[in-house]
Structure 1
């Protein structure tokens, strides 16, 4: 299936106009063990499960090209991983929306480690309504997006705890 937006990879830099933007970076722990644990939770889809979503993927970890179908109750949320990040102090992935997703756009999930021994969860996204019900309920969609961003961060923070 084709992605439902054309700005693939834009969460790496300047995000496109005409979309709602999210950019949150929050400390979630300290030390290399916390960093490694948070990376493992992120890349194995555990962050998504820990946020209350069910996860079905064609791979056990987030890899370039992996398809994942998230589910929130009756709502199916299909995505594909469009790029990954695997650096000494940053790891994560971005996925883009597929047909049937309530939104159109991309979301980047990173775990970062800095010189002060702090571990961060960093989430960047751009999106706009992709279905009739999300167009009608756009303000409620922003509330749900904020709620899930908070849940993702909480799940990563929990995974980074000793």
Structure 2
């Protein structure tokens, strides 16, 4: 299903922990053309199968950190934060914000709760021991599209936002998509390798979403952003 065919039901959580501007901008299909000022945008899509069953399986995996874990990224220190006190907003077909309805908590087949806006976690790339604190800034829950976006909650490297979602398109194909935008580090040793750090962050995001494809081996990504 194309993005234009469904109203966007996006629950956005904007809070003091964000360390970058334009929170939620990764939801825009025009991100490549109109990225936040000074940021480097990217987008990558991979066909991972077809049919409603494949879409459901990919959704269950994605919404429980499965793409990250399958790519070898460790997830720790998961916290709901203050999400229960903030219902978020959704956007109508014209892009206008409106109050979000009470969110239902969905669960994967193993009983793990789906990600919700406001969840925080620490992502660690074991081969380098590099860690980043991130926050789920919105989730997508549509009939033919589901996913979430994480934003950096520290400034230990590149800062910005990454969306991960799966789509069940009109031709019955299922696609895994990631897009986002990053600002390069502006201080410390990482500043000297700013472009390389940004490319590495993009590569890591692509490795994570590609891990949703059948047959992708665990540990596909070994370096962190």
Q: What TM-score do you get using the length of structure 1 for normalisation?
A: 0.89
Q: Is the 8 A contact 1:91 1:112 kept in 2?
A: yes
Selected match of 1:35 from 55, 65, 72: 55
Give unmatched runs, 5+ long, in structure 1.
Answer: none
2:73 and 2:167 map into 1 onto residues whose CA distance is 23
Aligned partner of 1:58 in structure 2 is: 79
Q: Aligned to 2:38, what secondary structure does the other structure show?
A: coil
Is 1:148 the counterpart of 2:204 in the alignment? yes
Question: How much has 1:71 moved relative to structure 2?
Answer: 0.5
Q: Distance in 1 between matches of 2:215 and 2:153?
A: 28
Partner of 2:106: none
Q: Specify which structure has the higher proportion of strand.
A: 1
1:91 aligned to 129, 134, 146, which one? Answer: 146
Number of residues paired by the alignment? 160
**2:168/2:175 contact within 8 Å kept:** yes
Distance 1:144 1:39, change over 3 A: same
26-35 vs 134-143, greater mean Cα deviation: 134-143
Using the TM superposition, give the Cα deviation of residue 100 of structure 1 relative to its aligned residue in structure 2, in angstroms: 4.2
Instruction: Name whichever of 148-157 and 72-81 sits farther off.
Output: 148-157
Counterpart of 1:45 in structure 2 is: 65
1:127 corresponding residue in structure 2: 182
1:159: how far off? 7.8
Instruction: Indicate how the Cα distance of structure 1 residues 125 and 48 shifts in structure 2: closer, same or farther if over 3 A, else same.
Output: same
Give 3-state SS (helix, strand or coil) of 1:157's partner. Answer: coil
**Structure 1 residue ranges (4+ consecutive) displaced by more than 3 angstroms after TM superposition:** none
Q: Does 1:157 align with 2:213?
A: yes
Q: Deviations over 1:54-113 (max 9, x none)?
A: 111226532110001100132111100011000000000011111244211111111000
Give secondary structure in 1 for the equivalent of 2:211.
helix
Q: 1:12 aligns with which of 6, 27, 37?
A: 27
Q: Is the 8 A contact 1:76 1:100 kept in 2?
A: no
- Does structure 1 conserve the Cα–Cα contact (< 8 Å) formed by 2:19 and 2:155? no
RMSD: 2.0
Larger Cα-atom Rg: 2
Greater helix share, structure number: 1
